[in-house]
Chain A
Amino acid sequence: MEWEAVIGCEVHCELSTKTKVFCPCEVRFGAEPNTLVCPVCLGMPGTLPVLNEQALVYAMRAAHALHCTVATHTKFDRKNYFYPDLPKGYQISQYDLPLSKVGWIDIGPPDRRKRIGITRVHLEEDTGKLLHEGADGESFLDMNRCGTPLIEIVSDPDLRTPDETFDYLKELRTTLLALGISDCNMEEGSLRCEPNVSIRPKGQAAFGTKTEIKNLNSFKNVRDALVYELERQRKLIESGGKVVQETLLWDAARGVTATMRSKESAHDYRYFPEPDLPPLNLSQQFIHDVLWSLPELPAVKRERYQRELGLPYYDSDVLVQEPEVARYFEETMNAGAPAKEASNWVMGEVLREAKDRKVEVGALPVTPARLAALIALVLGGTISVQAGREVFREMAATGGDPATIVEKKGLVQISDESALQSAVERAIAAHPQAAADVRAGKEKAMGAIVGAVMKETKGRANPKLASDLVRRTLGVS
């Protein structure tokens, strides 16, 4: 039988506000444990949460970017459950009147473009962080994260393959990054994904029983876990078993999903309106002001790079992944570099250098203006592409200006016939067999002679001119 997967995703994204969502404690990853806490986020009795307006604006940005309808009437609710990372005994979340509903996002390259429905985007608070290191049956609890603003993005069950899910998460991340509302760092947990997955015979409309997978800290993990889980469900059903609705944990080391908590899998959160937070009546004006404040989104940028700059889809996709990279590319272009040249250098040297140094492209000593100057030197024939790469490395190491480096290192390309002629003659004299072969029409033999010219000039000879001179000197054209 042919099976079809049905996948939906719940994504949690920490917002990069300065303070927590309901109290003025600072939000900062990596701070000393339990130093960013106060009576409100610790859940002390008698404290009063007050909504951070910036968190609301950020959440609304995400809602707009995902084409959701933002509610004019929305409120917070208590989701009641006991877990040690949430001492209040409830999470402040949104239930029946979420901030926004019913949107979409387009995912995937042109040959498998697909529109994925967004069920809702709502605002809630993050929990504390448990470290299971205690040997004595205790866990350590760090409450710095507790109360960090979090948006929950729920997709419709529109995804059909692990690859599509990967595309969905990639586009979602790129979009959230462009909005400037989160660093989307999966390793630090600021972007977390919990897919739910079921299978059904292809052509059947009804859904099968789904499982939810947690503990996925990279997009690759998500894809691997889904591949494994789909196969597990298929084998189970084909051997006469039944899928149990449950939450599974992905074990990346062993490459398997395992049951998380068997007891208490039936959730009964007893949601009710949060009495400590008054409801929100959002004006159309406010909602629209946030909409108009959105930056150009990656999907639009990608289209523009292809249509207006003539870049291939691949280039446009690489360049829009991180807003910093797109900005760097555009500034290089604005400084005079042709689009495709700027794209090649940014996708190649710039991204590689940033990756090697583990920094954002904006932090590289090479400014876009200097990259544009370097590109001009290459395009103008002053230096070869090869030398250009060497100059780039030097610029990245010292922050110098390309023209100065070219001069200092003596990299100016030799494009003067008279300056090359003697080197060409020496190369021919040193390679008599190759010279004879070229005369006999064996084009391949050119390599040895031109190579010798390049070697003698330390790579500075203009390669095209060198070839022309070799041919002319040998009397072939």
Chain B
Amino acid sequence: MIRDEEVRHIAHLARLELSEPDLARAARELGSILDYVKKLEAVDTADVEPEIHAVSISNVYRKDEPRPSLPRDEALAPAPSHDDKYFRVPKVIE
């Protein structure tokens, strides 16, 4: 189970505006996911080494060698707002 209040908080962190019915549905669905995952707690892990990551590879590096960047117009094109040099974003500091 998950409390409505917590769902509301998570929705806010994710910048989602949920209507009341959506909120109730999200609480139901998240709750059932949490219950499902909770079943893992039944497994005895006393002799299992903790894992710090889900993948089994490690130490993947890249050499410090520059490669060409995107042409600027191509980089800016998908943005909702831009001029010929900059992305334009809503002002945050008043």
Whether the pair A53, B88 counts as a contact (CB closer than 8 A) is: no
B window 66-93: CB within 8 A of A: 66-67, 69-70, 72, 75-76, 81, 83, 85-93
Q: Is B20 an interface residue (CB 8 A)?
A: no
Q: Is A80 an interface residue (CB 8 A)?
A: yes
Chain A proximity of B31: nearest CB distance (Å): 18
In this complex, the member of B55, B59, B62 whose beta carbon has the largest number of chain A beta carbons within 10 angstroms is B62
A window 1-44: CB within 8 A of B: 17-19, 24-26, 32-39, 42
**B contact residues, total (Cβ < 8 Å):** 34
Whether the pair B53, A75 counts as a contact (CB closer than 8 A) is: yes
Known interface pairs A34-B87, A273-B54, A279-B52. Does A83 touch B65 (Cβ–Cβ under 8 Å)?
A: no
Chain B proximity of A186: nearest CB distance (Å): 21
Known interface pairs A35-B69, A39-B70. Does A83 touch B81 (Cβ–Cβ under 8 Å)?
A: no
Q: Is A356 an interface residue (CB 8 A)?
A: no
Q: Smallest CB-CB separation from B87: which chain A residue?
A: A141
Whether the pair B61, A50 counts as a contact (CB closer than 8 A) is: yes
A window 182-238: CB within 8 A of B: none
Q: Enumerate chain B residues within 8 angstroms of A75, measured Cβ to Cβ.
A: 52-53
CB < 8 Å neighbour of B13 from A24, A83, A270: A270
Whether the pair B62, A53 counts as a contact (CB closer than 8 A) is: yes
Whether the pair A34, B53 counts as a contact (CB closer than 8 A) is: no
Q: Is B45 an interface residue (CB 8 A)?
A: no
Whether the pair A52, B91 counts as a contact (CB closer than 8 A) is: no
Chain B proximity of A426: nearest CB distance (Å): 71
Q: Secondary structure at chain B's binding surface: helix, strand, loop or mixed? A: loop
Q: Enumerate chain B residues within 8 angstroms of A140, measured Cβ to Cβ.
A: 83, 85-89
Chain B proximity of A286: nearest CB distance (Å): 9
Q: Enumerate chain A residues within 8 angstroms of B59, measured Cβ to Cβ.
A: 278, 280-282
Whether the pair A36, B69 counts as a contact (CB closer than 8 A) is: yes
Q: Enumerate chain B residues within 8 angstroms of A260, measured Cβ to Cβ.
A: 93
Q: 0/1 per residue, A131-168, Cβ < 8 Å to B?
A: 11010011111110000000000000000000000000
Q: Enumerate chain A residues within 8 angstroms of B89, measured Cβ to Cβ.
A: 84, 130, 138-141
Q: Smallest CB-CB separation from B88: which chain A residue?
A: A138
Whether the pair B66, A26 counts as a contact (CB closer than 8 A) is: yes
Q: Enumerate chain A residues within 8 angstroms of B19, measured Cβ to Cβ.
A: none
* Bound CA–CA A63/B4 (angstroms): 44
Residues of B within 8 A of A (CB): 9, 13, 15, 52-55, 57-67, 69-70, 72, 75-76, 81, 83, 85-93
Residues of A within 8 A of B (CB): 17-19, 24-26, 32-39, 42, 50-56, 73, 75, 80, 82-84, 97, 130-132, 134, 137-143, 260, 268, 270, 273, 275, 277-282
